[in-house]
Amino acid sequence: MLASVTVIGVLGGLIGVPTGYALHGLVMPLMGRAAGTSMPAPVIDVYEPWQLALLGSGGIAIAVLGALIPAGWAARARTATALRTE
């Protein structure tokens, strides 16, 4: 159970972080233009590479932590009961 959730967390991080980074770079200048100003580079370039890696690993951690309770229940339950509830 934890392995399958980890895969989902990795995929979510690999898709979500670059998508969010790209959208941030696209939306922030548009918001500045809509307000009648230009956004300076420090406002747009707010993420360092290590922060992006941390955000991606946060998706994995959240997925694994969310799966710990169901995984613990399945480990303690009888095999037939665990399979019926899937």
Q: What is the pLDDT along the chain (86 residues), one digit of tens a residue?
A: 677 778 888 888 888 888 988 998 899 889 888 988 888 888 888 888 898 888 888 878 888 888 888 778 777 877 777 677 76
Task: Classify residue 84 by its DSSP letter.
Answer: H
Kindly report the pTM of this predicted structure: 0.65
